[in-house]
A and B are shown apart, each in its own frame.
Chain A
Amino acid sequence: MKKIEMSNTQLFFLIIGFLLGTTSVLNPAAAAQQDSWLAFILGWIGGLLLLLIYVSITILNPGKTLVDILLETFGKFFGTVVSIIYIWYFIHLAAVVLRFFGEYMVTVLYPETPVVFIIICLMLGVAYAVRSGLEVTVRTNELLMPILILLETTLSLSLIGMYNFNHFLPFLEQGFGPILKTALTGVMVPYGENIVLLMVFPFINKKEELRKTSFLAFIAAGVLFLAILVRDLLTLGPEMLKKASFPSDISAKLIPGIQIDPIVAATLVISGGIKISICTYAAVMAISQLLKLDDYNVFVLPVTAIIVSISIWSYDSYIHGVQWIPQEWTMYSFPFQVIIPVILLVISLFKRYSKSKEHFR
């Protein structure tokens, strides 16, 4: 297999970018209105647990990607079957993110352009990135992430004059239940999607640093998310936060004096782009691993085409998507994001345990 290497910083920014994905523009916690920050933090803790599971799996099976681990754990036949299902999941995930990205662009900036066109444009960039190799993608991301962070910080600071801390109140108006519910959705999207990173984790240079780097990145991403969410909450107010299709866009429009709301679109291109690129890479990488090939390059374009058509096929309209994603999509992702990883973890632990037992014999 081609030798790929990633530095700590690269992984760090990669995780942040991947997590940010589309959530930077629409945070599922927003449904909790004035308590959304709490729902978010709870969801984040859940995400941390998931990350712990994922990272542990990689550490217990050093140097192996998800596909390798699946093949080892479930045997050749079942391992292949499950891997194929995961490939499908990666493709579907990329498609859904892509669709969201397209819908945002079309709603906010280009109402008359058919969504397909925007999607194809982005995918061309993604295809090129993936074809150029993981290092290139990751390096580009390393460059773009600080810009994104700078942009978001600028937005948050410009709006300070409009922050109204009353928007945090009344606290827990509807009780704890709805918050938990929102938090739970918030765990699957986007944190559960970290499973995709298992295709990428093994390539970090210093294997020992994986845990530290990924946790640091997770914390950083959480802080960034929270800053964005709080900014939108304090500016727009709880009711508007909940009903806005894209709260960050409206916040950006309120900056006095200038109209820089396309900046939000720019951040979405960066974060959405990296997420889709990694998902595409994961799919293509998995395919070539299953086929025991050295090079995945050939498969990029056909997979890209599949992703484009799936993204259109996923759901009918944006309105439908808004309802569908927190419900059916979350349930559908559950086995991929939780059930199978937990099984893998348990089996990996078991193997490690019995191996160390053998050592002592």
Chain B
Amino acid sequence: MKKALKKCIIFLNICFLIFITSGCWNNHDITDVSIAVAAGLDKTEDDTIELTLQLVKPAVVRARKYGGFEESAVSVFSSTGDMVFQAVRNILSSVNKKVYFGHLQLIVIGEELAREGISDILDFFERDHEINPKAYVIIAKGTTARKVLHANSKLETIPAIHITSLLENDIALPKINKKMLFDLLRETSHKGHDITIGVIEIEEKDGADKELLVGDMKVTGTAVFKKDKLVGWLDPAETRGYLLVADKVKSGIINIPDPLTEEGRKIAIEIIRSRGKRDVLIQDGHIILSIEIEAIGNIGEQQSVKDIITIEKGKMLAEQLNDAIKKNVKEVIEISQKKFKSDIYGFGQIVHIKYPDYWKQIKDNWDYEFSNATVDIQVTSTIKRPGLITQPTRPQ
């Protein structure tokens, strides 16, 4: 009797364990769920929020891997709501499966909505547990997020992945401002640091009727914010000037005028390493924003015929590079000070850390202080290598 009872209990235990571990309330089979890979937020005319989701069709992704299947691997749906969460639920009126945000890679915010302020709409993404804080955020300039997410891609099965891999090119092209959701949220909560977000825009091409491709868009440039509202843009070159200071440039090309010829010939320097340091000094009540940039570069391309491999010519090149960088950086600082009055570099944050008492006094007035602060820019560059040739090849 006892043995039988024991066996019974063990059997029940096993049943129970199987029951518990194989599924529960929150079980979402992958076939019961639509996987959202990108989300877009726009403002509608009635002042509601339009949410666009790019959802993956896993079966199509697989089919395309194995053969020339042409159907789009994603479906795009939009819905509206007074707040983001509501819009998310409302999408269920067109999408038959509940949306899973665990693989969200990209969040696109439409320009109009950004101008009104993004803190509110980001709250949903911060609070929800499924969303990965490593997702990238970009602003759709001159277009809507909806349009961007409808674009197809000839290079990647999933268009959103095409866009995110474009963003990841920022290691080679410092005109791209890549920002993760987490960094965005962190910078927003920092006092004395206005945020910037990368930009995606459509390049004007002929044949305006044809389908929009990711290939028709570019992700260079930056959106500048004041508090949480979009106030303006930095073009790609200016973005580079900004990123140099923010210490985010890993590699890039700067064209400098050839110091040895006068015909406006250029030399392309490939930056292989750069460092940007920011500091704030307060002297006699004056705020001095100090920027130090170190750049190391190689010669990438030379337009003129002159031989430039001597020490003094190398030094001249370095000087030219210094000037070019300094000019670039100065331009952007002036824009942020005068035009936007927005401290996108986080100098305020440095004041907060270095002079906490002083910060308490001026933090509400920081925009003004920042705009009127003196800026001191120091650039040191070194040109290291000329590549495989020391003299350019030209017909004699």
- The residues of A with any CB-CB pair to B shorter than 8 Å are 107-114, 117, 121, 166, 169-170, 173, 236-237, 239-240, 243, 249-250, 253-254, 256, 259
- Beyond A166-B353, A239-B189, A243-B189, 14 additional contacts (C-beta under 8 Å) are A107-B129, A108-B129, A111-B26, A112-B26, A114-B25, A117-B24, A121-B20, A170-B352, A170-B353, A173-B356, A237-B190, A239-B186, A250-B182, A254-B133
Instruction: Determine if A113 and B134 form an interchain contact, defined as CB atoms under 8 angstroms apart.
Output: no
Q: Can you give 30 contacting A-B residue pairs, CB < 8 Å?
A: A107-B129, A108-B129, A109-B26, A109-B129, A110-B24, A110-B25, A110-B26, A111-B26, A111-B129, A112-B26, A113-B24, A113-B25, A117-B25, A121-B20, A169-B353, A170-B353, A170-B354, A236-B186, A237-B186, A237-B190, A239-B186, A239-B190, A240-B185, A243-B189, A249-B129, A250-B182, A253-B133, A254-B133, A254-B182, A256-B134
Instruction: Determine if A237 and B189 form an interchain contact, defined as CB atoms under 8 angstroms apart.
Output: yes
Assess A113 versus B189: contact at CB under 8 Å? Given A170-B352, A253-B134: no
Q: Which residue of B lies closest to A242 (CB)?
A: B189
6 shortest interchain CB distances as A-B pairs:
A113-B25, A110-B26, A239-B189, A170-B356, A169-B353, A112-B25
Q: Which residue of B lies closest to A168 (CB)?
A: B353
- The residues of B with any CB-CB pair to A shorter than 8 Å are 20, 24-26, 102, 129, 132-134, 182, 185-186, 189-190, 352-354, 356
Question: With A and B bound together, what is the CA distance between A112 and B98 in angstroms?
Answer: 13
Q: B129 to chain A: which residues have CB within 8 Å? A: 107-109, 111, 249
Q: Which residue of B lies closest to A174 (CB)?
A: B356
Q: Which residue of A lies closest to B20 (CB)?
A: A121
Question: With A and B bound together, what is the CA distance between A11 and B102 in angstroms?
Answer: 40
Question: With A and B bound together, what is the CA distance between A257 and B265 in angstroms?
Answer: 44
Instruction: Determine if A240 and B189 form an interchain contact, defined as CB atoms under 8 angstroms apart.
Output: yes
Q: A166 to chain B: which residues have CB within 8 Å? A: 353
Which listed residue, A113, A249, A256, touches B26 by the CB 8 Å rule?
A113
Distance in Å: Cβ of B193 to nearest Cβ of chain A: 11
Instruction: Determine if B24 and A254 form an interchain contact, defined as CB atoms under 8 angstroms apart.
Output: no
Distance in Å: Cβ of B135 to nearest Cβ of chain A: 10
Q: B182 to chain A: which residues have CB within 8 Å? A: 250, 254
Q: A256 to chain B: which residues have CB within 8 Å? A: 134
Q: A117 to chain B: which residues have CB within 8 Å? A: 24-25
Q: Which residue of A lies closest to B16 (CB)?
A: A124
Distance in Å: Cβ of A103 to nearest Cβ of chain B: 12
Question: With A and B bound together, what is the CA distance between A70 and B160 in angstroms?
Answer: 67
Q: A121 to chain B: which residues have CB within 8 Å? A: 20
Assess A253 versus B189: contact at CB under 8 Å? Given A169-B353, A170-B352, A173-B356: no
Question: With A and B bound together, what is the CA distance between A112 and B356 in angstroms?
Answer: 45
Q: A259 to chain B: which residues have CB within 8 Å? A: 102, 132
Question: With A and B bound together, what is the CA distance between A111 and B129 in angstroms?
Answer: 9
Instruction: Determine if B186 and A240 form an interchain contact, defined as CB atoms under 8 angstroms apart.
Output: yes
Question: With A and B bound together, what is the CA distance between A114 and B356 in angstroms?
Answer: 46
Question: With A and B bound together, what is the CA distance between A113 and B26 in angstroms?
Answer: 6
Instruction: Determine if A250 and B133 form an interchain contact, defined as CB atoms under 8 angstroms apart.
Output: yes
Question: With A and B bound together, what is the CA distance between A111 and B101 in angstroms?
Answer: 14
Q: Which residue of B lies closest to A253 (CB)?
A: B133
Question: With A and B bound together, what is the CA distance between A237 and B190 in angstroms?
Answer: 9
Q: A236 to chain B: which residues have CB within 8 Å? A: 186
Distance in Å: Cβ of B10 to nearest Cβ of chain A: 13
- Residue among B25, B129, B132, B190 having the largest count of chain A Cβ atoms under 10 Å: B129
Distance in Å: Cβ of A30 to nearest Cβ of chain B: 15
Q: A109 to chain B: which residues have CB within 8 Å? A: 26, 129
Instruction: Determine if A253 and B132 form an interchain contact, defined as CB atoms under 8 angstroms apart.
Output: yes
Question: With A and B bound together, what is the CA distance between A180 and B212 in angstroms?
Answer: 60
Question: With A and B bound together, what is the CA distance between A3 and B343 in angstroms?
Answer: 69
Q: Which residue of A lies closest to B346 (CB)?
A: A166
Distance in Å: Cβ of A232 to nearest Cβ of chain B: 13
Distance in Å: Cβ of B327 to nearest Cβ of chain A: 29
Question: With A and B bound together, what is the CA distance between A236 and B133 in angstroms?
Answer: 11
Distance in Å: Cβ of A36 to nearest Cβ of chain B: 16
Q: Which residue of A lies closest to B128 (CB)?
A: A111
Distance in Å: Cβ of A156 to nearest Cβ of chain B: 18
Question: With A and B bound together, what is the CA distance between A259 and B132 in angstroms?
Answer: 8
Distance in Å: Cβ of B390 to nearest Cβ of chain A: 38
Question: With A and B bound together, what is the CA distance between A107 and B24 in angstroms?
Answer: 15
Question: With A and B bound together, what is the CA distance between A166 and B133 in angstroms?
Answer: 21
Q: A239 to chain B: which residues have CB within 8 Å? A: 186, 189-190
- Residue among B20, B132, B353 having the largest count of chain A Cβ atoms under 10 Å: B353
Q: A254 to chain B: which residues have CB within 8 Å? A: 133-134, 182
Distance in Å: Cβ of B33 to nearest Cβ of chain A: 13
Q: B132 to chain A: which residues have CB within 8 Å? A: 253, 259
Question: With A and B bound together, what is the CA distance between A253 and B352 in angstroms?
Answer: 28
Question: With A and B bound together, what is the CA distance between A254 and B129 in angstroms?
Answer: 13
Distance in Å: Cβ of A283 to nearest Cβ of chain B: 25
Distance in Å: Cβ of A163 to nearest Cβ of chain B: 13
Question: With A and B bound together, what is the CA distance between A117 and B129 in angstroms?
Answer: 20
Distance in Å: Cβ of B231 to nearest Cβ of chain A: 23
Question: With A and B bound together, what is the CA distance between A272 and B132 in angstroms?
Answer: 26
Distance in Å: Cβ of A175 to nearest Cβ of chain B: 11
Q: Which residue of A lies closest to B350 (CB)?
A: A166
Q: B186 to chain A: which residues have CB within 8 Å? A: 236-237, 239-240
Distance in Å: Cβ of B328 to nearest Cβ of chain A: 26
Q: Which residue of B lies closest to A244 (CB)?
A: B126
Q: A111 to chain B: which residues have CB within 8 Å? A: 26, 129
Q: Which residue of A lies closest to B129 (CB)?
A: A108
Question: With A and B bound together, what is the CA distance between A93 and B189 in angstroms?
Answer: 35
